[in-house]
């Protein structure tokens, strides 16, 4: 009789677990609310929250990550993502805070590239070059959105000729917050004609909390032994150089404040680090903030990552916070800048028979 009772209890507990009762590993919850309007259309803000208390908020306008709230070593949540309080700020969003970038992230020299003998001229919006998709890139578009379980799915159809890029491109981006405090971003895209594509997210991080001053007290590791040197307009020269013996050698944990002023040019880091291979997620970078105990790790299938330390930052952000020069860092998974004009770089050409795929993961934690 005792054996029968014990078996019954075990079965009952197992059924409770399968039904979700007392189950601490239930998936992330996603809720939504209005975030104002853009050109007469409602903008929705989605809130992703896991059982660890991590909260990430994302707009269907530009796929913008507006907030990332993660605990410090004392368990206190803080917002480590720079941004604005309302749509008025994001409607212009000069720094591209938190936004999806496309069709082509980073720079294309003179805004020109050639496919099958035909030259395409893009808008010039960064010195003599094209930057981040043009005047109205993916960051300034209203995306279709839906929630699929614990995933926020955004879709956008970029018309043939939009911003002078060839081909109709259909893009899907999926955001997922896991119970391991990972924000996983999965991208896919197809095209109706040969085109170039290079997608990323442009989140600005300060692990001390947004608006907390410079990132000089952060430590960084970038797991790359090569980078792409640039000219005076930030276009790669075409060389792929060793970081050994240079200011770009961040392969071991390095205090940002101690090295940032040694970068030639005086503007800090705004450079592409090379990982070469695609198709599997590689450990790319880790940034730590000793005082709060927070860390961020980055993994991606992309061949490169742009490390940017926000020299040009000068904005008033959330809660009236002053965002100053060197007040944040970005880790933008990408193909190399100006790849369409550099045959030795990994190609960004997408044909109608192919599917563009990318996965990037940001992992948050406490040391």
Helix (H) or strand (E) holding 102: none
Q: How many CB atoms lie within 10 A of CB 275?
A: 21
Q: Which helix (H) or strand (E) holds 176?
A: strand 169-177
Task: Given the residues 38, 202, 271, 335, select the one marked as catalytic.
Answer: 202
198 labeled binding residue: no
At residue 284's C-alpha, the angle toward residues 293 and 365, to 5°, is: 25
Evaluate the CA torsion angle 297, 133, 195, 352 in order and state its sign.
positive
42 labelled catalytic: no
Place of tokens 């992309």: 302
Task: Answer yes or no: is 203 a known binding residue.
Answer: yes
308: left (phi over 0), alpha (psi -120 to 50) or beta: beta
The H or E element spanning position 311 is: none
332 catalytic per annotation: yes
109 is in an annotated binding site: no
State how far the Cα of 177 lies from the Cα of 30, in Å rounded to an integer.
10
Closest CA to 199 of 14, 332, 10: 332
User: Is there a binding annotation on residue 202?
Assistant: yes
Place of tokens 């965002």: 323
Residue 91 assigned to a binding site:
no
Contacts for 305 with CB less than 8 Å, ≥ 6 apart: 222, 224, 272, 273, 275, 284, 285, 298, 331, 332, 333, 334
CA nearest neighbour of 189 among 55, 357, 58: 357
Q: Are the C-beta atoms of 285 and 220 separated by less than 8 Å?
A: yes
The reply to whether 107 sits in an annotated binding site is: yes
Q: 298 vs 4, 211, 238, 274, CA distance in Å?
A: 51, 22, 25, 14
Cβ neighbors of 3 (< 8 A, separation 6 or more) are none
314 C-beta neighbours (distance < 10 Å), count: 13
Residue stretches of the annotated binding site for beta-D-galactose: 106-107, 202-204, 270
Residue stretches of the annotated binding site: 106-107, 202-204, 270
For the annotated catalytic residues, the residue numbers are 202, 332
């Amino acid at each position: 009789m005792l054996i029968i009772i014990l078996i019954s209890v075990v079965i009952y507990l197992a059924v409770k677990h399968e039904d979700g009762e007392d189950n601490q590993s239930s998936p992330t919850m996603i809720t939504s609310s209005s975030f104002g309007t853009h050109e007469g259309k409602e903008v929705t803000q989605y809130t992703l929250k896991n059982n660890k208390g991590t909260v990430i908020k994302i707009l269907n306008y530009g796929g913008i990550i507006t907030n990332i709230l993660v605990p410090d070593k004392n368990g206190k949540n803080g917002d480590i993502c720079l941004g604005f309080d309302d749509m008025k700020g994001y409607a212009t969003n000069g720094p591209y805070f938190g936004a999806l970038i496309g069709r082509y992230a980073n720079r294309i020299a003179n805004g020109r590239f050639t496919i099958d003998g035909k030259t395409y001229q893009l808008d010039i919006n960064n010195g003599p070059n094209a930057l981040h998709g043009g005047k109205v890139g993916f960051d300034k578009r209203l995306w279709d959105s839906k929630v699929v379980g614990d995933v926020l799915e955004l879709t956008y159809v970029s018309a043939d000729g939009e911003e002078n890029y060839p081909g109709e491109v259909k893009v899907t981006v999926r955001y997922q917050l896991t119970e391991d405090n990972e924000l996983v971003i999965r991208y896919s895209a197809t095209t109706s004609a040969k085109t170039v594509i290079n997608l990323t997210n442009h989140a600005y991080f300060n692990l001390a909390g947004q608006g907390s001053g410079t990132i000089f007290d952060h430590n960084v590791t970038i797991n790359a032994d090569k980078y792409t040197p640039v000219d005076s307009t930030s276009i790669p020269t075409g060389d792929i150089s060793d970081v050994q013996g240079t200011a770009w050698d961040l392969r071991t944990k390095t205090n940002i404040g101690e090295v940032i002023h040694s970068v030639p040019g005086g503007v800090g880091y705004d450079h592409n680090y090379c990982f070469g291979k695609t198709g599997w997620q590689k450990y790319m970078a880790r940034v730590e903030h000793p005082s709060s105990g927070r860390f961020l790790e980055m993994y991606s299938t992309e061949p490169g990552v742009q490390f940017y330390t926000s020299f040009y930052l000068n904005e008033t952000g959330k809660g009236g916070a002053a965002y100053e020069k060197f007040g944040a860092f970005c880790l933008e998974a990408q193909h190399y800048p100006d790849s369409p004009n550099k045959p030795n770089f990994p190609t960004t050409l997408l044909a109608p028979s192919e599917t563009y795929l990318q996965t990037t993961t940001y992992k948050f934690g406490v040391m």
